[in-house]
Structure 1
Amino acid sequence: MAQQEYGLQESAPRRKMRGWWFLLLLPVLALLGMSMATLKIASDYGFQPALGKPWFMLFGVPFYAPWSVFSWEGISRQSMDNAMTLGQAFFILPLLFILLCVVAFRRLKGNKSLHGSARWARKEEIARMGYFGGQGVYVGGWFDKNKNVLRYLRHNGPEHILCFAPTRSGKGVGLILPTLLAWEGSSLVLDIKGENWALTSGWRKAQGQSVLRFAPADASGAGCAFNPLDEVRLTSLEAVQDVQNLALMLVDPDGKGMADHWTKAAFAFFSGLILHCCVMVRSREGRMPTLQELTIMMSDPERSSAELLDEMMATDHAALFRGFAPDADERVGEACHIFIASSAREMASKAENEASGVLSSALVNMAIYRDPIININTSRSDFHIHDLMNHENPVNLYLVTPPDGIDRVRPLMRLMLDMIIRRVCAKMEFVDGASKASYLHRLLLMLDELTSLGKLPVLDKAISYIAGYGGKLYIIVQNIKQLNEEYGKENAIMANCHVRIAYAPNETETAELLSKMVGKTTVVEKKTSVSIGGGRGRSRSVNMTETARPLLTPDECMRLPGAEKDADGNITKPGHMLIFTAGQSAIYGMQILYFKDPTFAQRAKIPAPGISEKYPFGITDSLYFPRPAAWFAPETRAKREVAPVQPKSFESFLE
């Protein structure tokens, strides 16, 4: 049998019987015809005992062996002819009927996969994709027409998810909130408006989890604080790479790359300065410096930049290391001193104007850390990045900032995400030839409006391997144009997201992409033509034509029914959506509305912890300090070893 040269090939092709079924049918029809001929003769002779013993009785009628008609003697010619005519009729008429059906079927069927075989996924296919498993994040719903019920679709694999959803389309009520009201592991939530904290932190806290609200522009003191310099592994050989990663984000806060000389030179000098500042403050005060202290060291009006460079070159950093970290590897102090001194010496060798330009390039992006509120919220660490996946209970970090302040605090948010992603991907263990989870809890990175932070180069690279370290990305953007503007058309985000979700798009580029992703199908059309001759005769012909069309055209994508809203703009009915899974047919789904589900609605009503008139947003947890925290940075406490425990169930909380 020749293999089909187009379309999808079956993994285990079915063997078609072709004409074999017809050859098997012939002896069956022959036996049927002989049986009817035998029965006719037996009936004509009144079923005489002389005909022999019948095979069986059916409804009081004896049936003889089909070939008995050839062994009976003395049968009249007339009776034999009538019996043969009847037998031939039972042989020929069914055969003709079957042949006509086959011809008609082949004629009318057409080739339904000639130009494309795209179709919507069926229930059994959705089940094989694992979406009915009842665990993981929510990717939408699917309406079961047979049972007249909306079934939730959940994804619990390590693969990442990308969602295209315009603003006010229902992504929050249909994807983000249901997921955060059900996800059992740790989470990092980019929560620009703060509504995810307000509606989900209460339930997650009731589950025995820790909830942290990092709002760098919040002056209430009820949010958590995070000092990026606390993450520098100062007493290990990783200290240099840690300060270099920090310096890269501080001198290039927009992720545009170090294309010019000034930025590259600022990076080289700033890396050494950060490490020098860490060593000096740790030696003098027993703690890590803050970003404001780093800024002040660079722009101290009481000493010149030349004096700062002299201090960096003259200080015996190795001796300071031996003082505050006597048990550390001796190579660390020596390596740090060489790194700091060489960066200072390189800066000192530059002409005065060039050195001034380099210093200005390093300082220009540090102005945000002079803000007293920003300084308060970065003066200590209520958590460490390691805690997100390795604390005794899952930890949930909400990155909150008002939309009107996102441009100002964007560098800090980008810095935090860069550090978290790098640290998550820092360690992998292997046992018996296979990777072993080196964490207690998986980390869901719910990145709504990701492009509002600009391009994150580390994300563009880490998305291809972060799943192996326990990280699961759930990225939400408004459209493909927005994503391409930041990450380019050949971005790794689109290529590495196994599951893609789409609400009704509001611009043509995304609609065209979705139409291509759904694929093309073949439409078989039947055309009948009748021709009338000069006389009374006429002829009728039927032609089958196969034409290609997208399963969903771009304009149909843009007309995908959206969520219905009332006069106040509140969603009242769910809209339709598309769900794409790599290697599978697309799912034509329906949005979830969390407030229509009694379980979700009840969970969302649990208030954020510590809400009061004084603290309208609630009070965040702290893994190391009492809450509400003082505005001044207390002495850092040593991190304790913890063991995993079973979180409380929602049902036990209700009791």
Structure 2
Amino acid sequence: MILVWAAKWYDEFPREFMYSGSLGVLVGCGFVFAIVIYQVFTRHKVKAEEKMHGTARWAEKRDLEDAGFFDNEGVYVGGWVDSSGTLHYLRHEGPEHILCLAPTRSGKGVGLVIPTLLSWRHSAVITDLKGELWALTAGWRQEHAGNKVLRFEPASATASVKFNPLDYIRVATENEVGDAQNLATLIVDPDGKGLQDHWQKTSQSLLVGCILHIIYKAKREGFVASLPAVDDMLADPSRPVSELWEEMTTYPHWNGEVHPLVAASGRDMLDRPEQEGGSVLSTAKSYLSLYRDPVVRRNVESSDFSIKDLMHHDSPVSLYIVTQPNDKDRLKPLIRVVVNMIIRLLADKMDFENGRPVAHYKHRLLMMLDEFPALGKLDIMQESLAFVAGYGLKCYLIVQDTAQLNAAYGRDESITSNCHVRIAYAPNRMDTAQALSTMTGETTVVKESVTESGKRGGRLDNVSRSYQEVKRNLLTPDECLRLPGPKKDATGGIVEAGDMLIFSAGRPAAYGKQILYFMDPAFSARAKIPAPAKSDRLHSARPVDLPVITEQEPEIIV
């Protein structure tokens, strides 16, 4: 257009066209000259390959959106700060499980557990040390989330609902022996290390027979079968124990006939030398000593709810399993029994329609298990994580570090590999830091080396530059150890959130920010709702409608 304008009006404005044209030519020549100079100095420069050793990077907003972390429902997995400095809460609604690696006093409760329990509206099972989660979340869950809230605190004389594990032995069915064996194994193996010696194995076999014997006897004679009743039977001071073994081999358990497994257990004890039999008996009784506590005894002699209620009751149900720190170790065998039964009984049936699974439950169930490895090795948990998501169960497992998890499940554990989302706070151990560093992935860094040569004190005659691609982890182990944690005041209260890492399978790691529920007005208001003074009680019937013992031919329940 400049040429067109010049053709029309050059005669009228020659001075303006000469000035602007001269300036244009000057700028154009300068630009060409600059390009020539640049080419002269860079024509031998080697371009670095920035993807040679790896392409790891931090997750961006689109990555977090693809992972489903910007959903408005689900559990909280942390926070993320965008380029404008805005903090976004990240949530996960899918069925996949979550593993959190967070040391003690690192803020996992205030940043993950409490926000989740103050927003999750479905059923939940919560392991609650000290009862803190009950105090802060049970009120909102009952009043605004429509949940029935149950507090199972076995060592509490007044505040606990009751739970009898023997109610879940499917007696008079083909499953009764397996149920009794699973329960007896949990009793004699309180740490999940396996039956390692002769006395554990023989006492487990004895307890299987005793459990079935007391259930059939209680049904026939009209009393309640329970683990304290089993202990009473084994430690009855009014008769020699040999009479019990004789009774087990002759008692008319069903249809006037003795139960074959119970009779075999009684015969085993009669055939043992007196010294060996006494050792087997004392070993079995030692594992039942917990139920001699009158408070624990009262809380396990009957049931105020059914495990099936957790997913099949008309309303969602939140079960808080509360253990005070001074009772944690002695109550661990009972808590293991409860968690094991929940998983076994709720992941037992799947329906299909048109080639796809169909939910047969009314409510999803969140297993919020804090200090998860403290329960010892639960084989059912390790085995079932791969498939329980299809039954409506979502596990949120919290551990201190990888060493704690390995101590319970071994270095070849499959817990980590079955958790789709992994969260990490600043670790305290180097092995955990190394694992996190590896999980962030490797990236390529272009390293420039400059060499200068010339006379000393004079002008440099030659300057050369070389480029080398080197690899490094996106976050090195020492950087993981120095991940900023929450800032605390003199009393130990958190005043500023720390940083965290969030990993989602198949996507870049996210460098996140912790959430603090007490700094969020909505969460803070929900946490102030007082917990109910008394636990709800559902008064459900036993999960299996046990048949009445008669002299008639029984109808076997399958």
* TM-score using structure 2 length: 0.88
**For the structure 1 residues 638 and 418, does the alpha-carbon distance in structure 2 shift closer, same or farther, using more than 3 Å as the test?**
closer
- The amino acid across from 2:535 in the alignment is T
Partner of 2:550: none
Contact 2:136 2:529 in 1 (8 A): yes
Alignment pair present for 1:415 and 2:352: no
Partner of 1:117: 55
For the aligned residue pairs, the C-alpha RMSD in angstroms reads 3.1
Residue number among 249, 258, 262 corresponding to 2:199 in the alignment: 262
- The amino acid across from 2:68 in the alignment is G
Residue number among 465, 471, 488 corresponding to 1:542 in the alignment: 465
Tell me how far 1:98 sits from its aligned partner.
10
Q: Secondary structure of the equivalent of 2:467?
A: strand
Aligned residue runs from structure 1 range 43-122, under 5 A? 97=35, 107=45, 110-122=48-60
Q: Secondary structure of the equivalent of 1:189?
A: strand
Tell me how far 1:433 sits from its aligned partner.
1.8
- The amino acid across from 2:66 in the alignment is R
Partner of 1:17: none
Alignment pair present for 1:156 and 2:79: no
Residue number among 302, 306, 316 corresponding to 2:242 in the alignment: 306
Partner of 1:213: 151
Cα distance between partner residues in 2 of 1:382 and 1:484: 36
Q: Secondary structure of the equivalent of 2:538?
A: coil
Deviations 1:173-222 (A, max 9, x none): 00000000011211110101210000000000012210011111111x22
Partner of 1:65: none
Q: Secondary structure of the equivalent of 2:167?
A: helix
- The amino acid across from 1:143 in the alignment is V
Cα distance between partner residues in 2 of 1:594 and 1:106: 58
Partner of 2:20: none
Unaligned residue ranges in structure 1 (runs of 5+): 1-34, 48-60, 62-85, 321-333, 611-618, 626-635, 641-655
Alignment pair present for 1:128 and 2:50: no
Alignment pair present for 1:448 and 2:370: yes
Cα distance between partner residues in 1 of 2:37 and 2:503: 42
After superposing the two structures, state which structure 1 stretch, 389-398 or 234-243, moved more: 234-243
Alignment pair present for 1:388 and 2:310: yes
Residue number among 233, 242, 245 corresponding to 2:182 in the alignment: 245
Cα distance between partner residues in 2 of 1:430 and 1:443: 20
Alignment pair present for 1:319 and 2:255: yes
Residue number among 356, 377, 382 corresponding to 2:278 in the alignment: 356
Contact 1:230 1:288 in 2 (8 A): no
Alignment pair present for 1:482 and 2:404: yes
Residue number among 560, 564, 582 corresponding to 2:505 in the alignment: 582
Contact 1:229 1:288 in 2 (8 A): no
**For the structure 1 residues 305 and 536, does the alpha-carbon distance in structure 2 shift closer, same or farther, using more than 3 Å as the test?**
closer
- The amino acid across from 1:262 in the alignment is W
**For the structure 1 residues 536 and 463, does the alpha-carbon distance in structure 2 shift closer, same or farther, using more than 3 Å as the test?**
closer
Residue number among 297, 312, 332 corresponding to 2:233 in the alignment: 297
**For the structure 1 residues 311 and 151, does the alpha-carbon distance in structure 2 shift closer, same or farther, using more than 3 Å as the test?**
same
Tell me how far 1:246 sits from its aligned partner.
0.9
Cα distance between partner residues in 2 of 1:362 and 1:119: 56
Q: Secondary structure of the equivalent of 1:175?
A: helix
- The amino acid across from 1:606 in the alignment is I
Q: Secondary structure of the equivalent of 2:50?
A: coil
Partner of 1:599: 522
- Ranked by relative contact order (alpha carbons within 8 Å, sequence separation 6 or more), the top structure is 2
**For the structure 1 residues 511 and 584, does the alpha-carbon distance in structure 2 shift closer, same or farther, using more than 3 Å as the test?**
same
Cα distance between partner residues in 1 of 2:66 and 2:45: 34
After superposing the two structures, state which structure 1 stretch, 520-529 or 100-109, moved more: 100-109
Residue number among 193, 199, 202 corresponding to 2:139 in the alignment: 202
Q: Secondary structure of the equivalent of 2:415?
A: helix
Cα distance between partner residues in 2 of 1:170 and 1:408: 27
- The amino acid across from 1:306 in the alignment is S
- The amino acid across from 1:443 in the alignment is L
Deviations 1:527-554 (A, max 9, x none): 3334448998934433222222221111
Contact 1:166 1:478 in 2 (8 A): yes
Residue number among 135, 157, 173 corresponding to 2:110 in the alignment: 173
Tell me how far 1:512 sits from its aligned partner.
1.3
* TM-score using structure 1 length: 0.75
Contact 1:388 1:396 in 2 (8 A): yes
After superposing the two structures, state which structure 1 stretch, 137-146 or 105-114, moved more: 105-114
Partner of 1:620: 535
Contact 2:126 2:320 in 1 (8 A): yes
After superposing the two structures, state which structure 1 stretch, 361-370 or 519-528, moved more: 519-528
Cα distance between partner residues in 1 of 2:259 and 2:36: 92
Cα distance between partner residues in 2 of 1:455 and 1:554: 28
Contact 1:502 1:579 in 2 (8 A): yes
Residue number among 555, 559, 562 corresponding to 2:482 in the alignment: 559
Cα distance between partner residues in 2 of 1:211 and 1:596: 26
Aligned residue runs from structure 1 range 440-519, under 5 A? 440-519=362-441
**For the structure 1 residues 275 and 118, does the alpha-carbon distance in structure 2 shift closer, same or farther, using more than 3 Å as the test?**
same
After superposing the two structures, state which structure 1 stretch, 451-460 or 358-367, moved more: 451-460
- The amino acid across from 1:307 in the alignment is E
Partner of 1:12: none
Q: Secondary structure of the equivalent of 1:236?
A: coil
Task: Tell me how many residue pairs correspond in the alignment.
Answer: 531
Deviations 1:606-655 (A, max 9, x none): 00012xxxxxxxx1110018xxxxxxxxxx68999xxxxxxxxxxxxxxx
Cα distance between partner residues in 1 of 2:312 and 2:228: 29
Cα distance between partner residues in 2 of 1:624 and 1:198: 23
Unaligned residue ranges in structure 2 (runs of 5+): 11-16, 18-23, 546-558
After superposing the two structures, state which structure 1 stretch, 187-196 or 504-513, moved more: 504-513
Partner of 1:521: 443
Tell me how far 1:455 sits from its aligned partner.
1.8
**For the structure 1 residues 45 and 586, does the alpha-carbon distance in structure 2 shift closer, same or farther, using more than 3 Å as the test?**
closer
**For the structure 1 residues 376 and 525, does the alpha-carbon distance in structure 2 shift closer, same or farther, using more than 3 Å as the test?**
same
Tell me how far 1:348 sits from its aligned partner.
2.5
Tell me how far 1:102 sits from its aligned partner.
13
Tell me how far 1:167 sits from its aligned partner.
0.9
Q: Secondary structure of the equivalent of 1:580?
A: strand
Cα distance between partner residues in 1 of 2:498 and 2:9: 74
Cα distance between partner residues in 1 of 2:535 and 2:99: 29
Cα distance between partner residues in 2 of 1:457 and 1:397: 22
- The amino acid across from 2:517 in the alignment is Y
Q: Secondary structure of the equivalent of 2:464?
A: strand
**For the structure 1 residues 98 and 382, does the alpha-carbon distance in structure 2 shift closer, same or farther, using more than 3 Å as the test?**
farther
Tell me how far 1:99 sits from its aligned partner.
12
